[in-house]
Amino acid sequence: MSKIKNLNFGAVILDMDGVITKTARVHAKAWKKMFDEFLEKREGENFQPLDIKIDYNQYIDGIPRLDGIRGFLKSRNIDIPEGNPDDEPEKNTVHGLGKRKNKIFRDVIEKDGVRVYEDAVEMIKKWEKENIKLAVISSSRNCKYIMEKTGLEDKFEVRVDGNTLKEENLRGKPEPDMFVKAAEYLNVKLEDTIIIEDAIQGVQAGKKGRFACVVGVARNGKEKSLKEAGADIVVKKLTELLYLDKKTPETLPNALEEIEELFEIKGNRKITIFLDYDGTLTPIISDPDAAELPDDNRKIIAELSNITPVAIISGRDLKDLKSKIEIDTVIYAGSHGFDISGPDGLEMVHESEKEVTPALDEAEKRLKEQLKDIRGAKIERKKFAIAVHYRNVEQKDVQEVKDAVHKEADRQDILKTGSGKKVLELKPNIDWNKGYALDWLTEKLGWDKEKYLRIYLGDDITDEDGFEALRKDGVGVLVSTHGEKTSASFALRNTKEVTRFLQHLKDRIK
């Protein structure tokens, strides 16, 4: 048995697409391509294309292939023959369209391979070591094929997929049949089993099955909808299940008031300091370009960086970040750590640059056109991201801005959305963030946890990745609040307290 919070469990049943593998978007794109071509040929150039955010999520996502086709066509009042399993992909029948979609999907997989979520791999391996029974489920008949491509197939004792649905005459999601059958094959009780899903229909199925716990994985900002569907716990990454004891910012001890405790944690180790910029070193203001570093902070950072390592990790572009600080002894990590530069020739540009740049170029062009008439919307192009600020947008127009950004993320597999304080970003859909950048610097520069205490100060949701990286052997300090639970250990009320805190560190370690 293992535990999540106070919950004992002996088995975990994981959905495949979107939980383990990064194939959910490939499926969505394949469905859209297939249906758009079908609809255009049927209805002409004025056809209404499939909307991934609405049509795909409501009628197709997580549902058996043929049921998804029937449901979507019914929503459009389109009636076509059912056909039979021998129909070729070119045939305009339910079975033919299903094969057509599958061909598009497999062509992409054969060309690009299958990518997995590293947080899922980490938890699967952890559960395997704990002798937790594991099953993978998917409405797709490609489940075995995909899992073989990942190299994870042998981690799962049981697989229930689209083929099982047909062979066992099971009902698809949102009915719980697939999960119940997987638990039956595992020979475990439902009350000892956890379900992990990323789709609304899957969460609903898990709740109907009365399992011990249903975990919703909101990798692309579906927290609210997964909660509304009945998820008991919602996480962005499966590794968050290790840290469900996150605290509300208001309950954190103040880092200034508890400075002695922090130095007890430090012991005989040296200190490495990681700092966010906006909202941490300088207050958040309506015009990001005007956010200048206060002279007191510039002086303290310069002095600190001469006696201990200091790194600034920001969502700002590297060039912009450097121009704001202008201290040669500091390490700079721009674009959430995708672009790093520092003393002694330290340089790192993430390998995704060549792939992501054309996608960002296209998205920037479209966003400028779509948002040109929305007063107050500011589009900020960065090397590895596009930030769309809506702090100065009228409330009635905010949703239109958000929808435009999410639409661009849906359009290109290489991009995903990220959120901050009154800003949405389009950034590489890659497992890299401030926490990974922090760990990269730690390994690259030899800041071994036995010799260094790593301290990270940040104020935004994006800084949670940095706090999580330090959960076991570092200290996270949340500045102000971002409105959600945090992995930080301490808090500071504002940027003025950050200045005082850094001064205390400087005075104590010089």
Q: Supply 142's token pair.
A: 């490609």
CA distances to 59, 120, 170, 436, 464 from 173, rounded to whole Å, are 11, 22, 10, 36, 33
CA 89/CA 71 separation, integer angstroms: 19
3-class secondary-structure state, position 431: coil
Among 491, 365, 483, CA closest to 422 = 483
Between vectors from CA 70 to CA 68 and to CA 72, what angle results, nearest 5°?
Answer: 65
CA 498/CA 491 separation, integer angstroms: 10
Selecting among 15, 55, 317, 339, the annotated active-site residue is 15
**Residue 413 a catalytic site member:** no
**Residue 17 a catalytic site member:** yes
Q: Supply 185's token pair.
A: 């094959």
Task: Give per-residue burial for 360-396: e unless 16+ CB within 10 Å, then b.
Answer: beebbeebeebbeebeebbbbebbbbbbbbbbebeee
CA 340/CA 383 separation, integer angstroms: 12
With both helix axes pointing from N to C terminus, report the angle between 94-112 and 143-150 in degrees, rounded to the nearest 10: 10
Q: Supply 189's token pair.
A: 């009780």
Q: Supply 418's token pair.
A: 């990220």
CA 85/CA 218 separation, integer angstroms: 34
Q: Which residues are catalytic?
A: 15, 17
